[in-house]
Structure 1
Amino acid sequence: MTTLPETTALILIDVQQAFNDPSWGARNNPDAEARIAELLGHWRARGRPLFHIQHRRERPASLFHIDGPGFAFKPQAQPLAGEPVLHKDVNSAFIGTDLEARLRAAGVTALVIAGLTTDHCVSTTTRMAGNYGFETYIVGDACATFERTGPDGRHYGAEQMHDIALASLHREFATVVSTREVVAALA
């Protein structure tokens, strides 16, 4: 990555308070939100297009219920007035939203994606972005996920889940990059 064209948009996925709940278990990359804030600051300073994606659920017991505290954005990714916020009900930011139409209307050709969680909504959105033909970058150090238990009861640590998700995306659906690389490519 040398430079990012002016037609590159930043997509921040589900940087929400719900992921602070201890029920998720152990998490990797405690610095993800700081990296997201760094990306967002540089992006805003250059006036590039950006989109905030917010997961929502109608079920009152959900951590993402629209009236619950988990629905709120984390302070590091709080949208400013006028910045687009798209609400999704499934893993992909492209399903049930007008994200693709907005990107096409804005002439966006490339996407930089970061957020929570690496192996769920970030991965699903990244896969679809690649399938839709966008030049797609996923910022590995600006994503995080949680430990998981497989159907056979086997435990997978959060770092392992994160690394495998990135490895699965790299060179197939997107290019995995770092915050430092993205910031340098914006200069």
Structure 2
Amino acid sequence: MRLFPQATLLLAVDMQRAFDEPRWPRRWNRNVDHNGLRLLDAWRRTARPIFHVHHDSAEPASTLRPGQPGHRFREGFEPQDGEGTVGKIVNSAFIGTDLDIRLRRLGIEELVVFGISTDMCVSTTIRTGANMGWKITLAADACDCFDLPDGQGGTIPAEQIHAAHVATLGFEFCEAATTDGIIARL
């Protein structure tokens, strides 16, 4: 089993309260918070770096707009002293932000990523980061996503969307792993 180097950064993507509001479709992963908090705890205990990404929507009616209650981090996911934050306005935490340069200046070697939602901001961040040369591991069971319309009057269940994105990401852009597997490698 390959261990993670000390310079492996945990990137928590959009763990914000807005996603609990009723206007969002059904989510499926009841363990997303539990697993995400376990990752944060493991990183903190091993003194590894952590960044928290938050979506800063410019849309006036958005639940993710700064100043709205939904913009705040979910309980337990608030950054602690010494942990960085990255505000983004698009799906990727690398686009329009200084994330890449901050990681390089810190000497980061690898990333472990988790958050909401698997198929949108998590996936886009991983795809962009991999294309930029970052070695990334996805904590698949610490992610969540929503049911989506299929464009033909039906709905694609969130579980299927999640599974397809984890498979695609793991095939081409990152390693997909479980929270338990990741913690065992610290």
Q: Flag whether TM exceeds 0.5 (same fold).
A: yes
Partner of 2:59: 59
In structure 2, C-alpha distance between the alignment counterparts of 1:18 and 1:157, rounded to whole Å:
20
Which residue identity does 1:116 align to in structure 2? I
In structure 1, C-alpha distance between the alignment counterparts of 2:70 and 2:159, rounded to whole Å:
23
Alignment of 1:31-180 (within 5 A): 31-180=31-180
In structure 2, C-alpha distance between the alignment counterparts of 1:44 and 1:57, rounded to whole Å:
29
More deviation in 113-122 or 154-163?
154-163
TM-score normalised according to structure 1 size: 0.96
* Partner deviation per Cα, 1:20-74 (whole Å, 9 max, x = no partner): 0122221111110110000000101111111100001233310111011000000
Give the C-alpha shift of residue 153 in structure 1. 2.7
In structure 2, C-alpha distance between the alignment counterparts of 1:25 and 1:59, rounded to whole Å:
19
TM-score normalised according to structure 2 size: 0.96
* Partner deviation per Cα, 1:68-93 (whole Å, 9 max, x = no partner): 10000001311113311110000000
In structure 2, C-alpha distance between the alignment counterparts of 1:14 and 1:148, rounded to whole Å:
18
Give the C-alpha shift of residue 129 in structure 1. 1.4
Q: Percentage identity across aligned positions?
A: 40
Unaligned runs of 5+ in 1: none
Which residue identity does 1:93 align to in structure 2? A
> 1:148, 1:156 within 8 Å by CA — same for their partners in 2?
yes
Unaligned runs of 5+ in 2: none
* Partner deviation per Cα, 1:82-128 (whole Å, 9 max, x = no partner): 31111000000001111000111111121100000000000000101
Computed over aligned residues only, the root mean square deviation of the Cα atoms, in angstroms, reads 1.1
Give the C-alpha shift of residue 154 in structure 1. 3.2
> Which 4+ stretches in 1 moved above 4 angstroms?
none
More deviation in 147-156 or 6-15?
147-156
More deviation in 71-80 or 112-121?
71-80
Q: How many residues align?
A: 186
Give the C-alpha shift of residue 132 in structure 1. 1.2
In structure 2, C-alpha distance between the alignment counterparts of 1:81 and 1:5, rounded to whole Å:
22
